[in-house]
Amino acid sequence: MSHLVRCTAALAILATCTAQAADWSDTSLSYRYGTRFAEPFNNNDITKNIVNLSHVSGYKYGKNFFSLDFLMSSELDPSAAGSNSGAHEAYLVYRHTLDFGKITGKDLAFGPVRGVGFTAGFDANSKTDAGYNSKKRMLVAGPTLMLNVPGFLDVSLLALWESNAPYNTFTNQATPRYAYKTHAMLTGAWGIPFNIGIPLSFEGYANFITAKGTNEFGGGTSPETNIDMQVMYDISEAVGTPKNTFKVGIEYQYWKNKFGNPDRNNPGATAKTPMVRAEYHF
């Protein structure tokens, strides 16, 4: 677990340093909980507690975003063959978006689009579980449109370069790092405030990912749909703190063909997961 602690500390330091150089920034700690998580080749509804550190900031030429999830599963997603304890996972996402309008000093808005940019970044994870023990590494890059809505709505078309190096504790078999076929992702991320007598926001992301060729074991992969959205209530004023300090809400994730695993005869490969969520922003 020490590598997770070091990673979290490093990201916290990075968030502080980035905030000092940024025009604006928002860093948050959050917690979410659900009892109907799913994992491929596991037919159980899995309970997970998830702690997250996120940071987003804007500077002269664009913006940065990173998110670190620490996911703690119930024993129905065991940490190893024969274990009575649940799996642990750390999942890191980093994205950097350059705004071409800010770089050139020109207004590139058209129709519903307020800006055009280019996004690059990476995903990385480490999980201790019985059957796969994921060590995902993925680079991403592609164009981004920033739409003219209250709050933000960014839509990107990204190329994905992904690899993994699984380890099966049932067989004690390690698989050398394997690179999937370069594939594409159409992704949107949004945060849109609205008010119905109380301050709310509609937030989330949607990823539509093409198949990535054959997997490490020679099987085919399937296109993925991963939609994660939440409605959050800003309770800051009610508890006597500045706006956007404390939020609570409900979240729902729909993930079909999770990690590219076909859900035909594999019900765990599609997740339909309601959650509760709480956030502290600083």
- The whole-angstrom separation of Cα 115 and Cα 147 is 7
The per-residue pLDDT for range 154-188, each reduced to its tens digit, is 999 999 999 999 999 999 999 999 999 999 999 99
Residue 14 has pLDDT above 80, yes or no: no
- The whole-angstrom separation of Cα 12 and Cα 17 is 9
Residue 19 has pLDDT above 90, yes or no: no
Query: Once rounded to an integer, what is the mean pLDDT over residues 126-138?
Result: 97
pLDDT confidence of residue 141: 98
Strands in the chain per DSSP E: 24-39, 42-59, 62-73, 88-99, 113-128, 137-147, 152-164, 167-168, 173-174, 178-179, 183-195, 199-209, 224-234, 246-256, 271-281
Please name which of 152, 60, 55, 67 lies closest in space to residue 99, comparing C-alpha atoms. Answer: 60
Instruction: With 0.85 as the threshold, say if the pTM is over it.
Output: yes
Residue 9 has pLDDT above 70, yes or no: no
The per-residue pLDDT for range 24-83, each reduced to its tens digit, is 999 999 999 999 999 999 999 999 999 999 999 999 999 999 999 999 999 999 999 999
Q: Strand 224-234 relative to strand 199-209: parallel, antiparallel, unpaired? A: antiparallel
Residues in the chain: 282
With a pLDDT cut of 90, the percent of the chain lying above it is 92
Task: List phi, psi (to 5°) of 4.
Answer: -70, -40
pLDDT confidence of residue 184: 98
Residue 4 has pLDDT above 90, yes or no: no
Residue 13 has pLDDT above 60, yes or no: no
136 pLDDT band (50/70/90 cuts)? very high
Amino acid at site 103:
I
- The whole-angstrom separation of Cα 63 and Cα 142 is 15
Q: Which tops the pLDDT comparison, 18 or 222?
A: 222
- What CA–CA distances, in Å, run from 169 to 55, 79, 98, 173, 254? 35, 9, 42, 7, 28
Residue 3 has pLDDT above 70, yes or no: no
- What CA–CA distances, in Å, run from 277 to 30, 108, 192? 7, 37, 17
Residue 1 has pLDDT above 90, yes or no: no
Query: Once rounded to an integer, what is the mean pLDDT over residues 77-98?
Result: 97
Rounded to the nearest integer, the mean pLDDT of the chain is 94
Contact 24, 31 (CB under 8 A): no
22 pLDDT band (50/70/90 cuts)? confident
- The whole-angstrom separation of Cα 52 and Cα 66 is 10
21 pLDDT band (50/70/90 cuts)? confident
pLDDT confidence of residue 16: 46
Query: Once rounded to an integer, what is the mean pLDDT over residues 217-229?
Result: 97
232 pLDDT band (50/70/90 cuts)? very high
- The whole-angstrom separation of Cα 104 and Cα 125 is 36
The per-residue pLDDT for range 187-201, each reduced to its tens digit, is 999 999 999 999 999
- The whole-angstrom separation of Cα 38 and Cα 36 is 6
11 pLDDT band (50/70/90 cuts)? very low
